[in-house]
């Protein structure tokens, strides 16, 4: 396949979209982030990550799901490829959507990055604005228990929404709250 044609039709949705929230001054926060991302990952932690990844792969193989397939690359088990089926009873039914997973050396302390590569008519993710808007639209949806999401009742979600305003002073300004 022509790579230029492939890249022009690919959509990449990076999950999770990480926002650092800290109660320290911005200069101190930037320094903390620099230390985190420039720090060396110990050999012991790399082995821990490898064992964690292996356990997760074995669990998926021993308890397969009809809705997705996921395989690690033999050359690098921190890079996976996946295919998911479009949900039954939706306009996505019958579709097969491909993507990749990049697992950082710091996993599970740092989350994996999922990229959806197949055009799907659901997400427009060419810009950060589009990715953030897509994330916002996912919040009020109530998926079935297969999704890996947590299911709190509405009152608990309201309480967490209120608490979130206090946890992020930059985004908790009166202008942003309205």
CATH number at residue 77: 3.10.110.10
pLDDT value at residue 55: 94
Q: How many domains does the chain have?
A: 1
The answer as to whether 169 is a domain residue is: no
The two structure tokens encoding residue 134: 């897509």
Q: Is 102:91 a contact under the CB 8 Å cutoff? A: no
The answer as to whether 153 is a domain residue is: no
**2-6, 8-12, 90-94, 172-176: which is most confident:** 90-94
Mean pLDDT in the chain? 69
Domain region containing 117: 3-139
The answer as to whether 158 is a domain residue is: no
pLDDT digits (tens, 9 = 90+) for 62-101: 999 888 898 899 899 999 998 888 888 888 888 888 888 9
The answer as to whether 150 is a domain residue is: no
The answer as to whether 7 is a domain residue is: yes
The answer as to whether 146 is a domain residue is: no
The answer as to whether 167 is a domain residue is: no
pLDDT digits (tens, 9 = 90+) for 75-84: 999 999 988 8
Determine the Cα–Cα distance for residues 54 and 146; give it in Å rounded to an integer. Answer: 21
Torsion sign (Cα): 77, 56, 85, 104: negative
The answer as to whether 24 is a domain residue is: yes
């Amino acid at each position: 396949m022509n790579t230029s044609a492939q890249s022009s039709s690919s959509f990449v949705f990076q999950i999770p979209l990480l926002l650092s929230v800290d109660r320290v001054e911005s200069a101190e926060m930037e320094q903390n982030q620099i230390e985190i991302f420039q720090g060396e990952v110990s050999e012991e932690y790399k082995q821990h990550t490898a064992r964690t990844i292996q356990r997760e792969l074995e669990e998926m193989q021993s308890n397969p799901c009809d809705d997705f397939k996921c395989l690690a690359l033999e050359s690098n088990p921190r890079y996976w490829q996946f295919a998911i089926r479009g949900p039954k009873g939706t306009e996505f039914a019958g579709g097969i959507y491909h993507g990749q997973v990049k697992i950082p050396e710091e996993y599970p302390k740092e989350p994996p990055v999922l990229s959806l590569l197949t055009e799907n008519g659901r997400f427009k993710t060419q810009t950060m604005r589009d990715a953030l808007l897509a994330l916002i639209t996912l919040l009020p949806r109530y998926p079935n228990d297969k999704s890996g999401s947590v299911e709190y009742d509405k009152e608990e979600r309201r309480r967490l929404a209120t608490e979130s305003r206090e946890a992020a002073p930059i985004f908790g300004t009166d202008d942003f709250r309205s």
